[in-house]
Amino acid sequence: MASYRVVVVGGGLAGLSATMKLAELGAEVWLISLTPVKRSHSCCAQGGINSVNNLTRQLGDSEWAHFEDTVYGGDFLQHQPPVKEMADWAPRIIDLMDRLGVTFNRTPEGFRDQRRFGGTLYPRTSFAGATTGQQLLYALDEQVRRWEVTGHVRKFEFWEYLGPILDQNGVCRGCTIQDLVSMEIRTIPADALVIASGGCGVIFGRSTMSMACNGSAVSRTYQAGARYGNPEFIQVHPTAIPGSDKLRLMSESARGEGGRVWVPRKPQDPRPPHQIPEHERYYFLEERYPKYGNLVPRDIATREIFKICTQEGRSVEKDRLCVYLDLTHLPRELLDRKLGGILEIYEKFQGVDPRSVPMKIFPAVHYSMGGLWVDYERTAAGGLRVGSPRNQHTNITGIFAMGECDYQYHGANRLGANSLLSCIFSGLMAAPGILAYVKDGDQGARDRLPSSLFEQAERLHKERFQEFFRRPRDGDNPYLIHQDLGRVMTAAATVVRHNEELDRAYEKVLELEARAKRCALSDTGSWTNQNLVFARALEDMFPIAKAILRGARMRDECRGAHYKPEFEMPSITADDPAETRRQAEAWCDRFAENTRRWLKSTIATCDPDGEPTIHYEEVDTSLIPPRPRLYGVVGGQIIEEVWRERQKPQVAATV
Amino acid sequence: MTDSNGSQRQGSHRPREIRVRVRRQDGPGQTPYWETFLLPYEPDLNVISVLQKIAALGKDAEGKRVPPVAWECNCLEEICGACTMVINGRVRQACTALVDRLLEQQPDEIRLEPMSKFPVIRDLVVDRARIFATLKKIQAWVPVDNYLNLGPGPRQSQENQELAYLLSKCMSCGCCMEACPQYLKIEVPRLPGESEDDYRRREMEITNRAFMGAAALAQIDLFNSNPIGAMNARERLDVLIGEGGIQVCGNAQNCVKVCPKEIPLTTSIARMGRAATIHMVRRWFDL
């Protein structure tokens, strides 16, 4: 049996790809997961996975173009070498997944089919029906099961990670875990620990994320000293189906095929939608953006729908925020042919036929771009040195992070169909570096560590567990506190952000945190106690929630998913050419100044009392110089002209 | 009356409250009991939100404080398979069980029970480890040489992809096993002093001799039809005709009716039946 043991927390695409590769390289992997890994959140991804391919190459695409789109989409907030390496690996990753049996859609000639996805010029996206994430996850799950049979992998499913174990030098030597069935708490000595636990959408109450995505594994690592990067960057998808339990995605293609977004002119008009005459409907996107209508860019659609329901109080329903997305004016035949699949999803979960009744939709928290800070080792060519133990290594020696729970690949905003890629890439790419780290380390250290180190950790977590049972029974209900937390976070820290609101939300979150620490259990048994597991995870949501709020409060600019109207760049208002030019010059000055001030990663560290301390980290933008994102900006053309002129002398100087 | 989401389904029968009866069990081997909960009616609920509201409520219909019902869930989009349970007598996922629809069919109450073919851990949580153990037994994977860069997989026809995709959507939820008269519950009692590892090993030996179920038969079909998977098809066929294999199937055809992913299980089983026959003949003649 292999002599190096790596513990992987999380069995989605990132955790499984790391596990599979580590096992191939000869490590013994212990895999910890809240659910059987086949049920991980990766299965929810529908659209596909991006890579340059033989077809797009002939249209002028390249790895570099994919890299550039990702960086531009992320508003330049990510270090460029890891992104470049990811784009370089992408075609090889798709090939590997193809060999592993992923049921990618085919062309009549038998090649993998690709489709075009939002924001790119090329059909880069490989897909497997409408459930690409599920198919990729299953292929990795199958490979890991194979390694389980050979004894290289040992799974702990229905076990929860409670925290890392650090020695007196701050080096990670293992972790503490708990069996969610028997509630047994135990420690595992390990040579390295990998956190691949996904996003933290559950902090926002309901989101498009799965119930396991509560951020607690990341939070426990952050509370143990790991840095957290770009917490404030949370992607919100404009159209989701609000359910009382979850917000489920509604594809943008509904608007693409002619869907119209509206609210009654009379707020909360009680009449059913078809009885509301045309002139009493407010098609707010069409009225406010006559040029783009319902097909405004994603971030604008998200903001407008959010504003009309919150600030303007025009939600269709009184108790629930939503607007109509109306397809009922379109022929049924067209809807069935072009939108059949997604309309069935709506029907399945809402029990209503969207061909005859307008859908009710609202934006939903969808992805966390931020996550645990991780390092990388850059090559002279601007890529990564594969096999370097620095890759995906957090600031805690011996702890690595990858997948949605790292901050590395998506900057201020994630490009569609890049998440599956970043998860598989970070897992595969990091594995040789992790092995290099454990081999280079203190040989056999695992066996020489004092048993007191592990006993102490076990005692600590047992004590935390027992404390819940000693609480007075009249405390608050943790489920209700969670609902409040979700409401506060959603109102203040999603689509539109204002400093006063963020300040108020922070106060409210502190108050909720104090209540959560006193919350009462309604289940005081010690067998499969989901009540306690939830209450504990809830407590651990607060440090991350506070990092999100603080990061957003301090960042006085607009970048990617982070939008503060007070600091929005102006449009060009002049008609006169000279004045237009002057405004564009001023615009570029301000942009350059803003870049100097704010093109920095937010890095949060957790103080002993759970409060975040923020500092900023320079971003490696050495491969593609930052430039303004001008999509939809009035006067964009002249701004671009001025910006280009300014870049020329610099380019000449560097050549 | 029939237009907004609410009024269409509320009709004139909108109840004031929802009565939910849950078959609970505190732990393995313990006696199950029924508990009733009352929730104020709201439109557009599913069984997941009902269970969430029961947890937030913290008391039963008589106002007695009771522990929240334990249940398993994750994606809430009917793609992870976790929240499978028996709802009003039918096995299905709780996330797609819409309360308004359930009340239309049976207005007086919603009845929730754990699956009966798997050992109960607590309340609606059952131990489905057997499903995953079977995937090991049938070698449900593509046996690639390594994870290095060796180019793409083999080209495949659209027809082959479409079939594979159908079979590959199996989320190991257990519905087909719950509905199958040949798939029987196995609950292996623990021996005194037995370690967890020893217990799991012994349990697996026992379950591996029992019927593998429709999902596993379709997975053999899936991997044997994969161009690389086909290279060790004979090993899977050996398992197919072995103990707990296809001969146990009684052709009740319940599996295909309850599969939430509409996997053509009986078509797969028929195809596997033919493959088994050919394989047996070959083995007689040592081909």
pLDDT tens digit sequence for A441-492? 766 677 788 999 999 999 999 999 999 999 998 899 999 999 999 999 999 9
Query: Per-residue b/e over B139-149, b at no fewer than 16 CB within 10 Å?
Result: bbbbbbeebee
Inter-chain residue contact A146 with B143, CB threshold 8 Å: yes
Inter-chain residue contact A39 with B80, CB threshold 8 Å: yes
In terms of CA atoms, which chain A residue is nearest residue B73? A211
- ipTM exceeding 0.85, yes/no: yes
B154 and B273 both lie in a single domain: yes
Q: For residue A538, list chain B residues with Cβ-Cβ distance below 8 A.
A: none
Alpha helices in A517-635 (DSSP H): 530-554, 577-598
pLDDT, tens only, A18-31: 999 999 999 999 99
- Residue A353 in any domain: the answer is yes
Using the 3D structure, point to which of A340, A364, A388 is the last residue of a domain. A364
A109 and A226 both lie in a single domain: yes
Containing A491, the helix (H) or strand (E) segment is helix A478-492
Q: Cα–chain-centroid distance for residue A486?
A: 17
- Residue A146 in any domain: the answer is yes
Q: For residue A351, list chain B residues with Cβ-Cβ distance below 8 A.
A: 9, 44, 98, 100-101
Q: Which of residues 598-617 of A touch B (CB under 8 A)?
A: none
- Residue A648 in any domain: the answer is yes
B205 and B248 both lie in a single domain: yes
CA distance A614 to A612: 6
B133 and B54 both lie in a single domain: no
Inter-chain residue contact B141 with A43, CB threshold 8 Å: no
pLDDT at site A488:
97
A478 and A577 both lie in a single domain: no
A319 and A384 both lie in a single domain: no
User: What residues of A act catalytically?
Assistant: 298
State how many domains chain A has.
Answer: 4
pLDDT at site B12:
47
Inter-chain residue contact A530 with B73, CB threshold 8 Å: no
Where do we find the tokens 């429709």?
A: B214
Which has the minimum average pLDDT: A276-280, A651-655, B67-71, B258-262?
A651-655
B184 and B256 both lie in a single domain: yes
Asked if pLDDT for residue A649 goes beyond 80, the answer is: no
Determine the Cα angle at A423 with ends A18 and A50, to 5°: 130
Percent of chain B with pLDDT over 90: 89
Using the 3D structure, point to which of B103, B122, B141 is the last residue of a domain. B122
CA distance B167 to chain A (A): 10
A26 and A125 both lie in a single domain: yes
A268 and A300 both lie in a single domain: yes
Instruction: Give the pLDDT band of residue B9 (cuts 50, 70, 90).
Output: very low
Q: Measured between CB atoms, which of B144, B168, B169 is closest to A99? A: B144
A614 and A484 both lie in a single domain: no
Inter-chain residue contact B161 with A103, CB threshold 8 Å: yes
Using the 3D structure, point to which of B92, B122, B152 is the last residue of a domain. B122
Inter-chain residue contact A145 with B140, CB threshold 8 Å: yes
pLDDT at site A653:
53
Q: Is B122 left (phi over 0), alpha (psi -120 to 50) or beta?
A: beta
Q: Choose, out of A103, A481, A526, the residue to mutate when testing the contact with B (most B CBs < 10 Å).
A: A103
pLDDT, tens only, B224-262: 999 999 999 999 999 999 999 999 999 999 999 999 999
Asked if pLDDT for residue A634 goes beyond 70, the answer is: yes
A93 and A217 both lie in a single domain: yes
DSSP category for residue A395? S
B146 and B257 both lie in a single domain: yes
- Those residues whose C-beta lies under 8 Å from the C-beta of residue A565, and which sit 6 or more positions away, are A496, A498
Alpha helices in chain B (DSSP H): 5-10, 47-57, 99-105, 129-137, 158-168, 175-179, 196-209, 214-225, 233-240, 254-258, 265-284
Find out whether A146 and B143 touch, Cβ atoms under 8 Å.
yes
Inter-chain residue contact B75 with A128, CB threshold 8 Å: no
Determine the Cα angle at B244 with ends B239 and B249, to 5°: 110
A109 and A144 both lie in a single domain: yes
Inter-chain residue contact A149 with B136, CB threshold 8 Å: yes
Q: Which domain holds residue A202?
A: 5-233+369-453
B146 and B229 both lie in a single domain: yes
Higher pLDDT, A510 or B283: A510
Instruction: Give the pLDDT band of residue B6 (cuts 50, 70, 90).
Output: very low
What phi and psi, each to the nearest 5 degrees, are found at residue B47?
-65, -30
Q: Which of residues 477-506 of A touch B (CB under 8 A)?
A: 477, 479-480, 483
CA distance A534 to A521: 10
Using the 3D structure, point to which of A453, A486, A512 is the last residue of a domain. A453
Q: For residue B194, list chain A residues with Cβ-Cβ distance below 8 A.
A: none
* Distances in whole angstroms, Cα of residue A647 to Cα of each of A205, A466, A592, A640: 45, 62, 11, 10
What phi and psi, each to the nearest 5 degrees, are found at residue A616?
-120, 145
CA distance B39 to chain A (A): 14
β-sheet bridge partners, residue B84: B93
In terms of CA atoms, which chain B residue is nearest residue A242? B44
In terms of CA atoms, which chain B residue is nearest residue A520? B58
What phi and psi, each to the nearest 5 degrees, are found at residue B37?
-125, 150
B137 and B249 both lie in a single domain: yes
Average pLDDT over residues A328-335: 92
B189 and B271 both lie in a single domain: yes
Q: Which domain holds residue B43?
A: 5-122
Asked if pLDDT for residue B7 goes beyond 60, the answer is: no
Chain B contact for A313, CB < 8 A? Answer: no
Query: Per-residue b/e over A275-286, b at no fewer than 16 CB within 10 Å?
Result: ebeeeebbbbbe
Instruction: Please classify residue A144 by burial: count the beta carbons closer than 10 Å to its beta carbon, then call 0-12 exposed, 13-18 middle and 19+ buried.
Output: buried
Average pLDDT over residues A198-212: 97
What phi and psi, each to the nearest 5 degrees, are found at residue A354?
-70, -5
- Residue A560 in any domain: the answer is no
- Those residues whose C-beta lies under 8 Å from the C-beta of residue A199, and which sit 6 or more positions away, are A41, A209, A213, A215, A367, A368, A371, A404, A405
State how many domains chain B has.
Answer: 2
Using the 3D structure, point to which of A486, A519, A554 is the last residue of a domain. A554
Average pLDDT over residues A632-640: 85
CATH assignment of the domain containing B36:
3.10.20.30
In terms of CA atoms, which chain A residue is nearest residue B1? A272
pLDDT, tens only, A579-620: 999 999 999 999 999 999 999 999 999 999 999 999 999 999
CA distance A79 to A409: 8
Average pLDDT over residues A259-271: 95
pLDDT at site A310:
85
Q: Measured between CB atoms, which of B49, B149, B160 is closest to A244? A: B49
B147 and B177 both lie in a single domain: yes
CATH assignment of the domain containing A54:
3.50.50.60
A268 and A220 both lie in a single domain: no
Q: Measured between CB atoms, which of A148, A244, A348 is closest to B45? A: A244
pLDDT at site B1:
33
Find out whether A359 and A339 touch, Cβ atoms under 8 Å.
no
Asked if pLDDT for residue A351 goes beyond 90, the answer is: no
Asked if pLDDT for residue A652 goes beyond 60, the answer is: no
Find out whether A376 and A408 touch, Cβ atoms under 8 Å.
yes
Q: Measured between CB atoms, which of B46, B68, B74 is closest to A211? A: B74
pLDDT at site A340:
73
Average pLDDT, chain A: 93
Q: Choose, out of B71, B161, B190, B226, the residue to mutate when testing the contact with A (most A CBs < 10 Å).
A: B161
In terms of CA atoms, which chain A residue is nearest residue B57? A477
pLDDT at site A445:
73
Q: Which of residues 6-65 of A touch B (CB under 8 A)?
A: 20-21, 24, 35-36, 38-41, 43-44
B132 and B246 both lie in a single domain: yes
pLDDT at site A416:
82
Q: Choose, out of B69, B103, B147, the residue to mutate when testing the contact with A (most A CBs < 10 Å).
A: B147
Find out whether B75 and B81 touch, Cβ atoms under 8 Å.
no
Percent of chain A with pLDDT over 90: 82
CA distance A189 to A175: 7
Instruction: Give the pLDDT band of residue A655 (cuts 50, 70, 90).
Output: very low
Query: Per-residue b/e over A513-522, b at no fewer than 16 CB within 10 Å?
Result: bebbbebbbb
Inter-chain residue contact A38 with B132, CB threshold 8 Å: yes
Number of Cα atoms under 13 Å in the Cβ half of residue A78: 33
CATH assignment of the domain containing B139:
1.10.1060.10
Find out whether B74 and A532 touch, Cβ atoms under 8 Å.
no
Q: Select from A516, A521, A511, A513 the least CA-distant residue to A468.
A: A521
Percent of chain A with pLDDT over 70: 97
Inter-chain residue contact A95 with B150, CB threshold 8 Å: yes
Alpha helices in A191-296 (DSSP H): 216-223, 253-256, 284-288
Q: Which of residues 196-255 of A touch B (CB under 8 A)?
A: 210-212, 243-246, 248
- Residue A186 in any domain: the answer is yes
Find out whether A417 and A75 touch, Cβ atoms under 8 Å.
no
In terms of CA atoms, which chain A residue is nearest residue B78? A44
pLDDT at site B3:
37
CA distance A339 to A357: 15
Average pLDDT, chain B: 93
Instruction: Give the pLDDT band of residue B124 (cuts 50, 70, 90).
Output: very high
CA distance B268 to chain A (A): 17
CA distance B3 to A274: 7
Average pLDDT over residues B114-128: 98
pLDDT at site B15:
87
What phi and psi, each to the nearest 5 degrees, are found at residue A525?
-85, 170
CATH assignment of the domain containing A279:
3.90.700.10
B135 and B230 both lie in a single domain: yes
Using the 3D structure, point to which of B93, B122, B151 is the last residue of a domain. B122
pLDDT at site A410:
96
B256 and B133 both lie in a single domain: yes
pLDDT, tens only, B150-206: 999 999 999 999 999 999 999 999 999 999 999 999 999 989 999 988 998 999 999
Q: For residue B7, list chain A residues with Cβ-Cβ distance below 8 A.
A: 272
pLDDT at site A632:
65
- Residue A541 in any domain: the answer is yes
Asked if pLDDT for residue A169 goes beyond 60, the answer is: yes
A115 and A222 both lie in a single domain: yes
- Residue A463 in any domain: the answer is no
Determine the Cα angle at A289 with ends A288 and A291, to 5°: 145
Q: For residue B150, list chain A residues with Cβ-Cβ distance below 8 A.
A: 95, 99
Inter-chain residue contact B75 with A245, CB threshold 8 Å: no
Average pLDDT over residues A515-525: 94
Two tokens, residue A531: 């009540």
Asked if pLDDT for residue A232 goes beyond 90, the answer is: yes
- Residue A581 in any domain: the answer is yes
Query: Could you give the 3-state DSSP secondary structure of residue B192?
Result: coil
